[in-house]
Chains A and B, each alone.
Chain A
Amino acid sequence: MSRIKVELKKEQIDKIKTICQSFNNNGGELINVLHKVQGTFGYLPAEIQEVVAQELNEPIAKVYGVVTFYSFFTMLPKGKHPISICTGTACYVRGAEKVLDELKKELKIKVGETTSDGKFSISCLRCVGACGLAPVLMVGNKTYGRVAPEMVKDILKEYEAM
């Protein structure tokens, strides 16, 4: 997994510690702790994982193992407007990959990456429960259905000024 280097401020470390404490520093709650920490910071860089491991008294290798196993967790910050594209069966057969290729071409990033201006990031997900609208993509919380590759430019334009 690609990495970026961050320096945590004292308040940020304290915040992680507080979250761990709210789960009684119980190693068995690792996934829940990571979930909450990512909810707060947006992503889970190595430095954050180190603090979590220390607080829960778990090996850092194990924390990293969990972070890399679940696709929900990310070690890179998501863009201001995170784009999720469904590559589940229904969307896939109706051309999700072509939409994805167009997104990658437009934004010049790969899946899991964020544009250099921090605006957009792309991730894949499996089914949002709107198969009737396949192929589906989401920008933030807004859902777009029956997306064709040629619509990608216009969708992105909506957010460029935001």
Chain B
Amino acid sequence: METIKLTIDNQVVEVPKGTTIYKAAKQLEIDIPVLCYMDLKALGIEHKPGGCRICSVEVEGRRNLAPSCSTEATEGMVVKTHSMRVMNARKTVMELILSDHPKDCLVCAKSGNCDLQDLSVKLGIRDIPNQDIAEMSTYRKDFSPSIIRELDKCIMCRRCETMCNQVQSVGALSAVNRGFQAVVAPAFEMDLEHSTCTYCGQCVAVCPTGALTEHDHTNKLIEDLANPAKTVVVQTAPAVRAALGEEFGMEAGTLVTGQMVTALRQLGFDYVFDTDWAADLTIMEEGTELLDRLTRHLNGDKDVKLPILTSCCPGWVNFFEQQFTDLLDIPSSARSPQQMFGAIAKTYFADQIKKKREDMVVVSIMPCLAKKYECQRDEFKVDGNPDVDYSISTRELAALIKRANMDLKKMPQSDFDNPLGESTGAGVIFGATGGVIEAAVRTAYEVYTKKKLAKVDFEQIRGMEGIRSAEVDLDGFTLKIGIAHGLGNARKLLEDVRAGKSEYHAIEIMACPGGCIGGGGQPLHHGDLSVLKKRTEAIYREDAGKPIRKSHENPYITKIYEEFLGKPMSEKAHHLLHTHYTDKSKKIIYLK
């Protein structure tokens, strides 16, 4: 590899040819401030539009300052990253950016977690000159069920665009217009609700300001918890326990299951249950559907649709309902664990505690923003009353715990309530890419072969590569499995399915990179994707520590089939635990 030498802040560094000044400085542990820049190494994406000019540095012999994130280092270059000329320019640039930014930090959802605010502090900005005559861009607020766009706060870093287009291939967002009118928006500046947006929330996860935030339900939740007439039931998704600790200063990958349960109980929830229990239920339904389709296929049924696609991820469901409408009969009809939980909580469990549906509030804690949309879909309502009333994100829960003056670190551990709180290791791993299909295989193997699995860990299914495949021997029959996380990767597998080239029997798809542990509602990673790996390890640690690791062995799952549902895919199960998909491509209306 050809290398070059350059001098940065009086230190000589040797780097491969083509390296940017920013990265060369990094090698010397010189920290050049950045704003629009984002390095997503794990995804192979470096977002460096060179737009904000905060990373400008002085290059000897060059008239103008150079944006270090997008300027290639050259042989013999002499760079100063923090000269007084640079500091002065950086301050001016920041003042200009702030002059076109609202000053409502006191009540902004992003306050305390905002890259722009942090940078303003770092650069010592104390005054914004000429604010009284500065022009400000204004744009309408856009409220969708999941995401709120407040584009007055947009600084045009365009990170969201990279996530939406390059990573997710959703194509909902693009920079439009120019000058003060420039914003990032859907086609024809329609609201997100009328765009191809899947609510995966990856744009929110990278937004450096309060321009993109989640639809917050915390205040509604406090109201319901304070209302004695309401029985408030909570379910927590697997990925939440592997990330919530980060918001309380704990190392990424710290499991806080027991502390979280205690905190939820202290907040006043009447019943603290686990979405993992519903994940076990999902495996019973989805696994049975997989085996049913496989058996029919092996018996020569030509009409049977294979591969079967998982359907737990609401962002992914939105994606295929809009962009792969010719494949609507391929995904499993099983509802997501969130919705299975809600349907059971407001029927089976409501009967047990003798409460009326209307007097119950079912809340979910999710790593996800698409879940907020999913729970208000009409398919999941009975006479207008939703199975899950609303969903709050990991971030919202962390903020609420802090607001209630609790410290998760000091919280004693406790267990979930029953009957909807007991789960197996199979339910836990739903939170990581590959987990749903591994859980399904654990059950499908034993049901299909009628033999005990010698080893429940299927390491060949795990990993962080965007698209993976694995083969599992079901006693002579080779089950071919495909896995994709990130919708851009999902698109590739789907295009093969559409072209009839796919050889898989089953495919697991998660909309977010890393699966739910990397969801749009998780603590912000600020571009450092190594935290996703640590969260994944935590998920598998929790699985390994569980006494029961196969969904069909969960005693409370066996019980609900005996007492209430009959058997998997029974008529009752169909009614409560399955759904149908609709062509949503037409929701994209361009002209009002």
Contact = CB atoms under 8 A, between A and B. Distances in A.
B195 A61 contact: yes
Nearest to B172: A61
A46 B195 contact: no
Interface stretch (A10-18, A63-71, A78-86, A104-112): A63-71
B7 interface: no
A51 B482 CA distance: 33
A59 B590 contact: no
B591 A3 contact: yes
B188 A65 contact: no
B591 A63 contact: no
Interface in A105-157: none
B191 to A, nearest CB: 13
Nearest to B589: A46
Contacts of B165: 59, 62
A60 interface: yes
B188 A3 contact: yes
A50 interface: yes
Interface stretch (B26-34, B174-182, B530-538): B174-182
A5 interface: yes
Given A64-B176, A69-B177, A59 B591 contact: no
B196 interface: yes
Given A46-B188, A68-B176, A62 B590 contact: no
B188 A59 contact: no
Contacts of B173: 61
B590 A50 contact: yes
A64 B591 contact: no
A61 B187 contact: yes
A49 B590 CA distance: 10
Given A3-B188, A64-B187, A59 B177 contact: no
A122 to B, nearest CB: 18
B178 A68 contact: yes
Contacts of A63: 187
A69 B171 CA distance: 17
Nearest to B186: A61
Contacts of A50: 590
A58 to B, nearest CB: 8
A126 B187 CA distance: 28
A69 B186 contact: no
A48 B43 CA distance: 35
A68 B175 CA distance: 9
Given A3-B188, A46-B188, A61 B590 contact: no
Contacts of B21: none
A59 B172 contact: yes
Contacts of A62: 165, 171, 174
Contacts of A58: 171
Interface in B189-248: 189, 195-196
Contacts of B189: 1, 64
A2 B262 CA distance: 54
A86 to B, nearest CB: 19
A49 B174 CA distance: 14
Contacts of B177: 1, 68-69
A53 to B, nearest CB: 8
B185 interface: yes
Contacts of A60: 171, 187-188, 588, 590
A10 to B, nearest CB: 19
Contacts of A3: 188, 591
Contacts of A49: 187
Contacts of B175: 65, 69
A62 B195 CA distance: 12
A1 B178 CA distance: 12
Listed residue (A49, A50, A62, A63) with the most chain B CB atoms within 10 angstroms of its CB: A62
A1 B176 CA distance: 10
Contacts of B170: 59
A5 B510 CA distance: 38
B591 A5 contact: yes
Contacts of A61: 171-174, 176, 185-187, 195-196
A149 B103 CA distance: 43
Contacts of A46: 187-188, 590-591
Listed residue (B177, B185, B188) with the most chain A CB atoms within 10 angstroms of its CB: B188
A147 B165 CA distance: 48
B176 A69 contact: yes
A7 B301 CA distance: 45
A64 B172 contact: no
B336 to A, nearest CB: 27
A52 B132 CA distance: 44
Contacts of B590: 46-47, 50, 60
Given A3-B188, A46-B188, A59-B196, A65 B174 contact: yes
B357 to A, nearest CB: 40
A69 B185 CA distance: 13
Contacts of A5: 591
Nearest to B590: A46
Closest 7 CB pairs of A and B: A59-B171, A65-B174, A61-B174, A60-B187, A61-B187, A46-B590, A68-B176
Given A5-B591, A62-B171, 4 more contacts: A46-B590, A62-B165, A63-B187, A69-B178
Interface of A: 1, 3, 5, 46-47, 49-50, 58-65, 68-69
